[in-house]
Structure 1
Amino acid sequence: MIKYALDCENKHKFESWFQSAEAFDKLVRSGLLCCSVCGVNKVSKAIMTPNIGIKNNSKSNLPKTNNELPLSTPSTKTEKAIKQFRKHIEKNSENVGPNFASEARKMHIGDVPERSIYGESTIKEAKELIDDGISVVPLPFIPSKKTN
């Protein structure tokens, strides 16, 4: 196992463990490695400080710091606001998943009652909804069920 410090194209910093350097490279090439904060798949290795082990019976001269937060803890005001927004959307709306475009269209024409929904659509589907006068807005986060 190997641990890497990583950066995404949006400058989020995080760490992750990989089976090997080759496993990391394979995930990057296949586009399967995503930022744990924003979900983009443009991720690269960051500069790391060496992690040199010490004997179990010797004391470290390094000061202990508690400034490292879990990745689930937002590190900026914007990340905190997005996390609160996501919680609000997930609590007060129905996730219709990949059926978003068809559900939005059904509500628009009156086949089903209007309700707050969110989900996934292709860019083409979103453009078609907008062209038909159906308001859609991209959300600034990936759903909790799709995050690690």
Structure 2
Amino acid sequence: MKVLNLQCAHQHAFEGWFASEDDFQSQRTRGLIACPLCADTAIRKLPSAPRLNLGSSPPVTETVSQPAADAPGTALAVTNGQNAPLVPGMSPAQQAAFLQALRQVVAQTEDVGEKFAEEARRMHYGDAEARNIRGQTSAREAMELLDEGIEVLPLPLPALLKETLQ
């Protein structure tokens, strides 16, 4: 197994695992490798040092606090597409932390899709159970929600983040 440090044209760094150098080259030329942040397929290999696993350590367990049962739900609007540029100049560690935070958001929210604005209003006015949701809406609709006193947070959510990465 060959672990490579990769980078897209937007300078997002990520790691890829391949059976061999030929496997990497083959997948790259066929456009099968895409950046997990922006879905760009213009990928290049970065220089890297070999990684040696010389021992094992216990796994790190992460604890995430859940909102109280009576806490109102948080509405989350995804207003940008898969090619949304993230913060330029983000270091690999910052990118990893950002992706981890986005994965937690996806794991802890219900995707209501295109019905985001409708569901956020139903929750706000007590017609639906308050819960953490995410979905898509236009910038205009998000502004209207804010004008109504409904808290929303536009968030660039890369399309590849919703899928299982192989």
- Show structure 2 runs of 5+ residues with no match: 1-6, 15-23, 52-90
Aligned identity (percent) is 31
**Cα deviation, residue 108, structure 1:** 0.8
Whole-angstrom distance in 1 between the partners of 2:8 and 2:125: 46
**Cα deviation, residue 18, structure 1:** 4.8
Tell me what 1:7 maps to. 9
Q: How does 1:1-148 map to 2 (within 5 A)?
A: 6-8=8-10, 11-12=11-12, 17-18=28-29, 36-39=35-38, 65-66=49-50, 76-143=92-159, 144-145=161-162
Q: Is the 8 A contact 2:36 2:158 kept in 1?
A: no
TM-score normalised to structure 2 length: 0.49
Whole-angstrom distance in 1 between the partners of 2:103 and 2:44: 33
| Counterparts in 2 of 1:95 and 1:65: CA distance versus 1, 3 Å | same
Whole-angstrom distance in 2 between the partners of 1:47 and 1:131: 45
Task: Name whichever structure is richer in helix by fraction.
Answer: 1
**Cα deviation, residue 47, structure 1:** 8.1
Q: Is the 8 A contact 1:94 1:116 kept in 2?
A: yes
Larger RCO: 1 or 2 (CA < 8 Å, sep 6+): 2
Whole-angstrom distance in 1 between the partners of 2:128 and 2:103: 25
TM-score normalised to structure 1 length: 0.54
**CA offsets 1:108-137 (integer angstroms, 9 cap, x no match):** 111101000111111111111111111101
Aligned pairs, number:
108
Whole-angstrom distance in 2 between the partners of 1:140 and 1:82: 11
Q: Is the 8 A contact 2:37 2:158 kept in 1?
A: yes
Whole-angstrom distance in 1 between the partners of 2:50 and 2:128: 51
SS at match of 1:17: helix
The runs of 4+ residues in structure 1 deviating greater than 4 Å are 13-16, 43-49
Q: CA RMSD in A?
A: 3.7
| Counterparts in 2 of 1:6 and 1:39: CA distance versus 1, 3 Å | closer
**CA offsets 1:54-77 (integer angstroms, 9 cap, x no match):** xxxxxxxxxx9547xxxxxxx722
Question: Radius of gyration: which is bigger?
Answer: 1
